[in-house]
Chains A and B, each alone.
Chain A
């Protein structure tokens, strides 16, 4: 069904759209344009001037094995966070979708972590898992478990994945719950009468019907893990030990803000931007096709 309002003249529609366009321009297009420009320049060490260097920043970037490593590390990190956050959220949503006593309370509580600021979330996890003072970490170390994320890269990676996933579980939970509730009850009942139960019902009926939700969440989670985890990771490990938990955004920040390599850092931003555009384009095409049928 097509619903259109027809305006006479062009002034009112332009006036109505202008605030949004301005916001988009000031906060998105302009900075993005600047990043693209900086990525093709080289600053002098004192920040007093810059020269146009074309694509040499990018060439340098991809010639650097450390950068390629960071890309791979980020990919692993993103998929680990997405997998963990989605699996746990789905499990919780499946439980919350049942007839439960106190269901409303349970659902509300599960949404809370979403409201916790990234740095706060990091501190909460530090208090729990720090090997010296952590409520859980200290007893574990005393019990002889070799656990120290200050030293072990693997431990640190485990920690940032855990903390980052925890932040995202609430978001996924809401979408999974909504997705589950949009599955007609009678379809589930038909499956019950056909004899499908437990794991089989989940695999052959529920998951296929949830697949649009899952795909959407996968994209959102990947983007979240790639960008929004900066605060959590920085507060937990600052990308260390060594470069064990350095993702692309951490590297952008370190190279640009700390090491003052504006050109190189901007080039990394542009690469990230292209990545997001690619993911979003894939999602739009896929979702668009689904809604048409």
Chain B
């Protein structure tokens, strides 16, 4: 039974800070997905917890015990590496048994644990093989098995699916989640894939250049992104942003072309008279009637010059340009069904007032009602 707490964890290489004060708290059995663009420090964070790197500041509490001074082997943590890091000269069985032998477990116990893991992962017939005789997916399973047999307090996954093809990735994603749930082991899962992050994590930590941008449940992050970085990162295609100026009282946002958006959910008085960024997700844009105007409960309608239509079968992505007072903005809409019919290569899209996200135009931080 292990909870995990990271308190003010920071890491600098020489004088370059790569992680700034990470605070995370996980319940027993929870899975935390750590997501961010490459170079955001997410792998470094994992390596700090693993003990492969020493933090510059902060504490790591595993089951209430500070493990920072402990050797990686003494931390009771197992890790699945991105390239699997299997021992090439050992059989599948020996790869899994290696850590157990070092820990001095009895032969019978080692055999039992490896057997259980092999059954769980469908590796039974492969135990005598060497890693080079396995496919990518099988190697991935062995790497999982090596972590499972350790029966650790914490699993660390470092982009374990990034070397697999798309179909296998979806399959293994579900499998990792199922196994992790069944075993009930607290886990950290690093990925750059926002879909993996959304589907796997009980909690989500979004990192932006070494800083924690948001730490919350996935749906919370999706519904209420803390800043424009998170908003753009989580959700595909990415959220659209419209630069605007907030009117007096913080209720009406004016776009550069003079269009007015009324924030029906409430006022943002803090932003009154200042620049704001209005966010709207592609799937929230809807086809507006040809009549135009602000009919039908839309905050406003946008006149899109369509550049590209991508029919995906059940839905269609529409990419286009929006002219706002001389500057052009790219915009993406995700519409249900097949391709819409255009008028002169243009499309009118309605912006539902209820789906708007409001960010500070300077800091990019989310601004809530009140």
Selected interface stretch from A56-64, A126-134, A204-212, A261-269: A204-212
A69 CB to nearest B CB, Å: 40
Q: How far is the CA of A178 from the CA of B132 in the complex (A)?
A: 22
Complex A-B, nearest 7 residue pairs according to Cβ-Cβ distance, in ascending order: A194-B99, A195-B73, A186-B85, A190-B85, A195-B102, A208-B89, A186-B81
Q: How far is the CA of A108 from the CA of B356 in the complex (A)?
A: 63
Could you name 30 residue pairs across A and B whose Cβ atoms are closer than 8 Å?
A: A184-B85, A186-B81, A186-B82, A186-B83, A186-B85, A187-B85, A187-B86, A187-B88, A189-B81, A189-B85, A190-B85, A190-B86, A191-B98, A192-B52, A192-B71, A193-B52, A193-B72, A193-B73, A193-B77, A193-B99, A194-B99, A194-B102, A195-B102, A196-B98, A196-B99, A197-B73, A208-B89, A209-B88, A209-B89, A293-B132
Residue of chain B at shortest CB distance from A200? B102
Q: How far is the CA of A195 from the CA of B88 in the complex (A)?
A: 18
Q: How far is the CA of A19 from the CA of B259 in the complex (A)?
A: 81
Give chain A residues whose Cβ lies under 8 Å from the Cβ of B83.
184, 186
**Inter-subunit contact B52/A190 (CB<8 Å):** no
Give chain B residues whose Cβ lies under 8 Å from the Cβ of A195.
73-74, 99, 102-103
**Inter-subunit contact B79/A191 (CB<8 Å):** no
A280 CB to nearest B CB, Å: 25
Task: Please indicate which of the listed interface residues A187, A200, A209, A293 has the most CB atoms of chain B within 10 Å of its own CB.
Answer: A187
Which residues from 161 to 196 on chain A have a C-beta closer than 8 Å to any C-beta of chain B?
184, 186-187, 189-196
**Inter-subunit contact A190/B102 (CB<8 Å):** no
B122 CB to nearest A CB, Å: 22
Q: How far is the CA of A194 from the CA of B98 in the complex (A)?
A: 7
**Inter-subunit contact B79/A187 (CB<8 Å):** no
Task: Please indicate which of the listed interface residues A187, A189, A195 has the most CB atoms of chain B within 10 Å of its own CB.
Answer: A195
**Inter-subunit contact B73/A205 (CB<8 Å):** no
Give chain B residues whose Cβ lies under 8 Å from the Cβ of A191.
87, 98
B91 CB to nearest A CB, Å: 12
**Inter-subunit contact B85/A204 (CB<8 Å):** no
Looking at chain A, what size class is its interface with the partner chain?
A: 10 to 19
Give chain B residues whose Cβ lies under 8 Å from the Cβ of A184.
83, 85
Residue of chain A at shortest CB distance from B104? A195
Give chain A residues whose Cβ lies under 8 Å from the Cβ of B79.
189-190, 193
Give chain A residues whose Cβ lies under 8 Å from the Cβ of B206.
none
Q: How far is the CA of A204 from the CA of B102 in the complex (A)?
A: 11
B50 interfacial contact with A, CB 8 Å? yes
A80 CB to nearest B CB, Å: 28
Give chain A residues whose Cβ lies under 8 Å from the Cβ of B73.
192-197
A193 touching B102 in the complex, CB below 8 Å, given contacts A187-B85, A187-B87, A209-B89: no
Which residues from 61 to 92 on chain B have a C-beta closer than 8 Å to any C-beta of chain A?
71-74, 77-79, 81-83, 85-89
Q: How far is the CA of A83 from the CA of B344 in the complex (A)?
A: 83
Residue of chain B at shortest CB distance from A188? B85
**Inter-subunit contact A193/B89 (CB<8 Å):** no
Give chain A residues whose Cβ lies under 8 Å from the Cβ of B78.
193
B40 CB to nearest A CB, Å: 20
Give chain B residues whose Cβ lies under 8 Å from the Cβ of A293.
132
| Additional A-B contacts beyond A187-B86, A195-B103 (19; CB < 8 A) | A187-B85, A187-B87, A187-B88, A189-B52, A190-B85, A190-B146, A191-B87, A191-B98, A193-B78, A193-B79, A194-B99, A195-B73, A195-B74, A196-B98, A196-B102, A197-B73, A200-B102, A208-B89, A209-B89
Give chain A residues whose Cβ lies under 8 Å from the Cβ of B51.
193
Residue of chain B at shortest CB distance from A183? B88
Q: How far is the CA of A27 from the CA of B167 in the complex (A)?
A: 60
A256 CB to nearest B CB, Å: 47
Q: How far is the CA of A106 from the CA of B231 in the complex (A)?
A: 50
**Inter-subunit contact A205/B87 (CB<8 Å):** yes
Give chain B residues whose Cβ lies under 8 Å from the Cβ of A194.
73, 98-99, 102, 146, 150
Which residues from 139 to 160 on chain B have a C-beta closer than 8 Å to any C-beta of chain A?
146, 150
B13 CB to nearest A CB, Å: 12
Q: How far is the CA of A180 from the CA of B74 in the complex (A)?
A: 26
Residue of chain B at shortest CB distance from A190? B85
Q: How far is the CA of A191 from the CA of B90 in the complex (A)?
A: 12
Residue of chain B at shortest CB distance from A205? B87
B325 CB to nearest A CB, Å: 52
Q: How far is the CA of A196 from the CA of B94 in the complex (A)?
A: 14
B236 CB to nearest A CB, Å: 29
Q: How far is the CA of A123 from the CA of B358 in the complex (A)?
A: 82
Residue of chain A at shortest CB distance from B132? A293
Q: How far is the CA of A186 from the CA of B46 in the complex (A)?
A: 13
**Inter-subunit contact B72/A192 (CB<8 Å):** yes
Residue of chain A at shortest CB distance from B82? A186
Task: Please indicate which of the listed interface residues A186, A196, A205 has the most CB atoms of chain B within 10 Å of its own CB.
Answer: A186
Contact with B along A199-239 (1 / 0, CB 8 A): 01000110011010000000000000000000000000000
Give chain A residues whose Cβ lies under 8 Å from the Cβ of B98.
191, 194, 196, 204
Q: How far is the CA of A187 from the CA of B132 in the complex (A)?
A: 14
Give chain B residues whose Cβ lies under 8 Å from the Cβ of A205.
87
Q: How far is the CA of A208 from the CA of B94 in the complex (A)?
A: 14
Give chain A residues whose Cβ lies under 8 Å from the Cβ of B74.
195
Q: How far is the CA of A113 from the CA of B81 in the complex (A)?
A: 40
Residue of chain B at shortest CB distance from A194? B99
Residue of chain A at shortest CB distance from B98? A194
Q: How far is the CA of A46 from the CA of B78 in the complex (A)?
A: 80
